[in-house]
Amino acid sequence: MKICIVAEGCYPYVIGGVSSWIHSMIKSFPNIEFIVLALISNRDGSGKFVYDIPENVSGIYEVYLDDYDWGKNKKTGKRTRLGEKEYRALRSIIMNQDVDWDTIFEMFQAGKFSIDDLLMGADFLNIVKEVYDYKYPQIVFSDFLWTMRSIYLPLFLVLQTPIPKADIYHCVATGYAGLIGCIAKYFHKCALLISEHGIYTREREEEILKAEWVLGIYKNIWIDQFRKMSLLAYTKADKVTCLYSHAKDLQIDLGCPEEKIQITPNGVDVKRFAYLPGKTAEDEKFINIGAVLRVAPIKDVKTMVRAFAFAKEELPTLKLWIMGPTDEDEEYAEECFELVEALGVQDIVFTGRVNVTEYLGRMDFTLLTSISEGQPLTILEGYAAHKPVVATDVGCCRELIYGNDDFGEAGILTHIMNVAELADAMVELGRFKKKRMEMGENGYKRVINSYRIEQMKDTYEQIYRQLGGKYNVSWPVEVHEPENEEIKPADRTGGV
């Protein structure tokens, strides 16, 4: 059995919850051959892996959402003209009316034309003008035309991607990743599994609505593009997984058939957090708060810093450890550093990328201030270390903290971007040791009961077996022996 993991903007290039999940999934099935098809921005990031690639990964293929146009005919300078069937298919996708995806797949995978020629040619221009006259005559046409070209460039690049063959395509999102899975299913007749950690369409909507680079009516056009791709993935998938019940409701609202959806909670390796180093003599002077995150806008580190500044005034023994990479969005990270300096707040430590098992045992509780999440692994890892959490009410955090009438509260829930609530929660857990100890034990019991990696592995083994059986693919018996020769990351990369 060969499984292709399709991931956008994460594994194996970026440390984070989804990347960690993919890494643990691959390692959980050493008897299965995996390949990874990774969508990244451009070739500048090629081969820059931050994970040690497991031995059962036989190849990593890269897809660039912004790339050179290798197919342009520079000699003749002639623009590609489509046949009648292809023209109607292109019109259907741009108009978003009864999209003929099969013809779209075939015309782009045939690779007989240049994407640049298509975007700059008469066929694309005529269809865009039709959309403009029908829906948007009130805006400047030249701006509209160039926006449509920028929207469709990454989509067309993905549609032209050569698709390696696998028995199961496991796409860790809808969107562009899900689109690749749909192409694979069409040509290779393979199984298609979609796993959403956050709801891709909702996350893109939030980003677009807050973005300064896209204005007015163009926000709706971008959002419609993501909805279009997600609906395709939901329609073509054999099975769709999500992390918790509310996510399932959102998927149904976005057009996913309910009978395809299966709730599959995340899992952590509890044994990994069994024997952690405790507090040092220096640590004993403080109430340590651990925030395991990427320093990026979606984690709302600025609100975290402001809230800690107020909490520190109320309870001077608090100390905040922000643990995670700062190079994903260097401009935002620098703004966070400057905010700490401007506020004059003491005892905030940015550790950079670390092994969390070296730090979690020293913490008194953990902190999460994200404005969007799925089912945060950082909370589950904290629970495995007997640490309660202060978290914003996003994704599955409410369910993780309050449970389902099982073991009691395992932390404090706050509203998004609410400095006062976050500060009060930090002070409350900082002051009352007995309360945070009880909450930490509740969290530990909850993770043992429902969120162990063994449970997650069993669930996905059943799914893989089921999908394999549907497409007459047998489950592997023997574990592949690792090769003697060391395979370097660069040797495992195939640019697509």
Distance CA 282, CA 292 (A): 21
Q: Is the dihedral of CA 122, 128, 134, 138 positive or negative?
A: negative
pLDDT in tens, 316-326: 999 999 999 99
Bridge partners (DSSP) listed for residue 169: 4, 192
Cβ-in-10-Å burial (0-12, 13-18, 19+) of 283 comes to middle
In three-state form (DSSP H/G/I as H, E/B as E, the rest C), the secondary structure along 276-309 is CCCCCCCHHHCEEEEEECCCCHHHCHHHHHHHHH
| Calpha distance 380→400 (Å, rounded) | 8
Integer Cα distance of 441 and 30 in angstroms:
33
**Are 174 and 200 contacting, i.e. CB atoms less than 8 angstroms apart?**
yes
Q: How many domains does the chain have?
A: 2
Both 229 and 152 in one domain: the answer is yes
pLDDT at residue 482 is higher than 70: no
| Contact assessment for residue 199 and residue 226, using Cβ atoms and an 8 Å cutoff | no
Lookup: tokens for 439:
């909450």
What sign results for the dihedral spanned by CA atoms 440, 446, 451, 455?
positive
| pLDDT-above-90 percentage for the chain | 83
What backbone phi and psi angles, to 5 degrees, belong to 256? -80, 130
244, 375 contact by CB (below 8 A)? yes
pLDDT at 121 over 50: yes
193, 463 Cβ separation under 8 angstroms: yes
284 & 391 share domain = yes
Can you tell me the distance from the alpha carbon of 223 to that of 220, in angstroms, rounded to the nearest whole number? 5
- Summarize the confidence of residues 244-264 as an average pLDDT: 95
Q: Which residues lie closer than 8 Å to 301 by C-beta, 6 or more apart?
A: 291, 293, 295, 322, 332, 336, 369
Place of tokens 């005919």: 73
Each residue's pLDDT tens digit, 49-70? 999 999 999 999 999 999 876 5
Model confidence pLDDT, tens digit, residues 361-387: 999 999 999 998 889 999 999 999 999
Residues 6+ apart with CB under 8 A from 344: none
8 A C-beta contact, residue 35 and residue 41: no
Residue 108 and residue 128 share a domain? yes
Residues 235 and 338 in one domain: no
486 and 437 share a domain? no
Query: pLDDT, tens digit, for every residue of 398-440?
Result: 999 998 878 899 999 999 999 999 999 999 999 999 999 999 9
- Tell me what pLDDT residue 495 has: 38
Confidence of residue 147 (pLDDT cuts 50, 70, 90): very high
Residue 92's domain is classified under what CATH number? 3.40.50.2000
Q: Which two tokens stand for residue 152?
A: 């469709």
Greatest distance between any 2 Cα atoms in the chain:
78
What would the pLDDT profile of 266-295 be if each residue is shown by its tens digit?
999 999 999 999 999 999 999 999 999 999
First to last CA, the chain: 23
Residues 197, 70 within the same domain: yes
Q: Are residues 361 and 417 both part of a single domain?
A: yes
- Same domain? For 307 and 429 the reply is yes
Determine the structural domain holding residue 103 and report its residue range: 1-267+452-496
Residue with tokens 């979609």: 194
Q: Could you tell me if 413 and 489 lie in one domain?
A: no
> Count of CB atoms within 10 A of residue 206's CB?
15
Residues 6+ apart with CB under 8 A from 6: 36, 37, 38, 39, 169, 170, 171, 172, 177, 178, 180, 181
Residues 37, 396: Cα–Cα separation, whole Å: 28
C-beta atoms surrounding 111 within 10 Å: 12
- 437 vs 364: CA distance, rounded Å: 9
416 in the same domain as 285: yes
pLDDT at 472 over 70: yes
Residues 128/94, Cβ–Cβ less than 8 Å: yes
235, 99 contact by CB (below 8 A): no
Note whether 7 and 103 are same-domain residues.
yes
The helix or strand, by DSSP H or E, that contains position 37, with its residue range, turns out to be strand 33-40
Taken in order 417, 419, 424, 427, the sign of the CA dihedral is: positive
What is the spatial distance between Cα 460 and Cα 456, in angstroms, rounded to a whole number?
Answer: 6
Q: Are residues 51 and 14 in the same domain?
A: yes
Please say whether the beta carbons of 368 and 400 come within 8 A: no
